[in-house]
Copies of this chain bind each other. A is one copy, B any other.
Amino acid sequence: MKSQHAIQCRLRALRRSRPGLTQQALADQVGVTRQTILSIEKGNYSPTVGLALKLARVLDVAVEDLFSLPEGEDDV
């Protein structure tokens, strides 16, 4: 189930901007299974920082470019 507090994820778009970078290929590069990539792209859940850092590195973007908090989550 998708968590309610889900963060925004631009993984799919960024991955597809890299020709030939398949889910499996990306999964191999960051050391997870294809299911994990798929689930993150689908928004089923969001990764841990470690994985986020690896994904950002492979895609050559900042973590903040890959994932971002939904607006209006600033209230205490």
Is there an interface contact between A69 and B54, defined as CB atoms closer than 8 Å?
A: yes
A60 CB–B CB distance under 8 Å: no
Per assembly, the copies of the chain total 2
Which residue of B46, B48, B63 contacts A62 across the interface (Cβ within 8 Å)? B63
Chain A 41-76 interface mask (CB, 8 Å, partner B; 1/0): 000001111101110110000111001110000001
List, in ascending order, chain B residues with CB within 8 A of A5's CB. 50
A residues near B (Cβ < 8 Å) are: 5, 7, 28-29, 46-50, 52-54, 56-57, 62-64, 67-69, 76
Query: Contacts A46-B48, A52-B63 given; 12 further ones with Cβ under 8 A?
Result: A7-B50, A7-B53, A29-B76, A47-B48, A48-B48, A48-B49, A49-B63, A50-B67, A50-B69, A52-B52, A54-B69, A62-B64
